[in-house]
């Protein structure tokens, strides 16, 4: 076991010299063998160890004895230990999940807590080759692709490491026996209340007996192949992201033109990658949801990933974004300055037509106000002779649906004077008869006005 574990550590660069490693220690065979083996290599690997034990308060006095056993082991080996008592059953009810999932969440939460407190670099957990195969089946039954069938990673987020992932449970039990470790036993592992236990205790033994006595090794090879496929897709998807996507605050925009040229497999992998990048994970992102995204064909349609994230189709982009909660908007300061026709002719070449608009002052009725669009809004876009609905104008200009209500309109008492940054009203344009001109902007009326 020691030889195989060491090979895994070096092959996958799991540990660096002077790492302080937080080890999850339940007291069972796997975690006990892991921390004992790491302790054995502590000087050659130049590492320090810290143990974390979680008493789930589920097995009564047996759980208390597990806790006592862990503390005694750590004291004997001079390993600092943090022990926490958490009512996982109650926590599972509070968050509406299974006991198994709640336990996993609690464990990782406290592993990370100790990692920060101890200024450690790694968290070592004791999944082994058998866990690898069981997870393969769990993901297979859920309808997973390459990522799921690659099962458990050797390392995750540059923090979590699994040094025993190439070691089978039989070797671990033998190691515990050889070193007289006397690990604790959790009788719930023998019960078939959970899918993993059913796979371990019923499915795999049955498949071995009827179809393939060497099933473990066969599936282990298959998982290795899936891991290579996963590594390829990771590298290729990163390339696609660099060439097809634009990363902005709270969102990623995918070029629809580039996306449509990709193979369907590339599209799905890119979607998964982008969603993970924006959302932070792929939890509850099913293949059905990804297919719904691919079926988006109409501008403005969208798929909600969860209450906080969605994917929407714009004119030429697929947008994956965090739906930021609405907040109080700061009303822009509307600047205006009256200039003569003569002065205007001196500065007009220096005006930024997207930030400053020049209108015939005589066409303005009453005060100027700022507002967003309203139902029934119309105006005469510069260069046209007839009225056009603001809605139709935005559609023609390919303004994404979600941005249309954010565009400011500058209006007088009778009409829309300027659609900010886009087009002024033709009724307000400067003509040969114009005498005085009104310059309108959200900011200072630009340095060019110093010429006036």
**pLDDT of amino acid 160:** 96
Cβ(387)–Cβ(358) below 8 Å: no
pLDDT, tens only, 339-367: 888 888 877 777 766 678 889 999 999 88
**Res 369 pLDDT > 90:** no
Query: Domain 249-322: which CATH class?
Result: alpha beta
Strands 416-419, 423-424: pairing is antiparallel
What are the extents of the domains in the chain? Answer: 2-223, 249-322, 335-451
pLDDT, tens only, 182-204: 999 887 777 787 889 999 999 99
pTM: 0.71
335-451 fold: Phenylalanyl-tRNA Synthetase; Chain B, domain 3 (3.50.40)
Radius of gyration for the chain, computed over Cα atoms and rounded to the nearest angstrom: 32
pLDDT, tens only, 105-117: 999 999 999 999 9
Numbers of helices and strands, H then E, in the chain: 17, 20
Is the sign of the CA dihedral 38, 41, 44, 48 positive or negative? positive
**Res 328 pLDDT > 50:** no
pLDDT above 90 covers what percent of the chain?
Answer: 59
Provide mean pLDDT across the span 60-86.
95
Residue 155, phi then psi, degrees to nearest 5: -145, 155
Cβ(203)–Cβ(137) below 8 Å: yes
2-223 fold: Rossmann fold (3.40.50)
**How open is the CA angle 154-158-161, to the nearest 5 degrees?**
35
Q: How far apart are CA 151 and CA 136, in angstroms?
A: 5
Q: How far apart are CA 223 and CA 146, in angstroms?
A: 9
**pLDDT of amino acid 330:** 52
**Res 433 pLDDT > 80:** yes
pLDDT, tens only, 285-299: 888 899 899 888 888
Q: How many CB atoms lie within 10 A of CB 227?
A: 19
Residue 389 is encoded by which pair of tokens?
């609905």
Mean pLDDT estimate for the chain: 89
Q: 44 forms bridges with which residues in the sheet?
A: none
Q: How far apart are CA 173 and CA 115, in angstroms?
A: 28
Strands 378-379, 388-389: pairing is antiparallel
**pLDDT of amino acid 331:** 60
Q: How many CB atoms lie within 10 A of CB 208?
A: 13
**pLDDT of amino acid 447:** 40
**Element (DSSP H or E) covering residue 51:** strand 48-55
**pLDDT of amino acid 452:** 41
**pLDDT of amino acid 353:** 66
**pLDDT of amino acid 22:** 97
Q: What is the DSSP letter of 202?
A: I
Of residues 374 and 211, more confidence is placed in 211
Cβ(254)–Cβ(237) below 8 Å: no
Helix, strand, coil content of the chain in percent (nearest 5): 45, 20, 35
């Amino acid at each position: 076991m020691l030889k195989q574990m060491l090979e895994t550590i070096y092959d996958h660069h799991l540990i660096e010299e002077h790492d302080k490693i937080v080890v999850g220690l339940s007291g069972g065979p796997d975690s006990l063998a892991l921390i004992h083996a790491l302790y054995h290599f502590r000087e050659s690997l130049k590492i320090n160890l810290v143990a974390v034990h979680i008493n789930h308060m589920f097995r009564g006095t047996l759980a208390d004895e597990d806790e006592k056993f862990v503390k005694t082991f750590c004291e004997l080996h001079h390993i600092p230990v943090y022990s926490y008592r958490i009512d996982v059953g109650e926590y599972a009810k509070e968050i509406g999940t299974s006991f198994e999932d709640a336990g996993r969440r609690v464990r990782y939460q406290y592993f990370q807590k100790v990692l920060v407190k101890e200024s450690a670099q790694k968290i070592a957990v004791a999944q082994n080759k058998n866990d690898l195969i069981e997870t393969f089946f769990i993901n297979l039954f859920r309808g997973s692709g390459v990522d799921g069938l690659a099962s458990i990673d050797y390392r995750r987020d540059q923090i979590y490491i699994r040094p025993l992932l190439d070691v089978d449970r039989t070797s671990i039990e033998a190691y515990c026996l050889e070193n007289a470790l006397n690990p604790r036993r959790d009788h719930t592992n023998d019960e078939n209340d959970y899918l993993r236990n059913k796979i371990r205790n019923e499915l795999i033994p049955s498949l071995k007996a009827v179809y393939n006595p060497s099933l473990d090794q066969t599936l282990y090879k298959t998982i290795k192949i899936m891991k290579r496929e996963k590594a390829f897709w990771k590298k290729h998807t990163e390339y696609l992201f660099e060439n097809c996507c634009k990363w902005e605050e709270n969102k990623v925009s995918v070029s629809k033109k580039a996306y449509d040229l990709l193979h369907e497999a590339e599209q799905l992998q890119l979607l998964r990658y982008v969603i993970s990048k924006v959302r932070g994970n792929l939890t509850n992102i099913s293949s059905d949801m990804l297919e719904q995204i691919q079926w988006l064909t109409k501008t403005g349609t969208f798929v909600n990933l969860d209450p906080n994230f969605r994917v929407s189709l714009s004119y030429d982009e697929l947008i994956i974004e965090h739906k930021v909660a609405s907040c109080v908007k700061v009303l822009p300061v509307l600047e205006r300055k009256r200039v003569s026709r003569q002065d205007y002719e001196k500065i007009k070449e220096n005006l930024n037509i997207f930030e400053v608009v020049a209108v015939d002052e005589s066409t303005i009725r009453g005060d100027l106000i700022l507002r967003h669009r309203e139902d029934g809004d119309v105006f005469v876009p510069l260069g046209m002779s007839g009225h056009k609905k603001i809605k139709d104008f935005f559609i023609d200009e390919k303004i994404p649906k979600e941005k249309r209500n954010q565009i400011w309109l500058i209006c007088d008492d009778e009409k829309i004077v300027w659609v900010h940054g886009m087009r002024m009203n033709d009724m307000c344009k400067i003509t040969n008869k114009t005498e005085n001109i009104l310059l309108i902007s959200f900011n200072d009326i630009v340095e060019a006005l110093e010429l006036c």
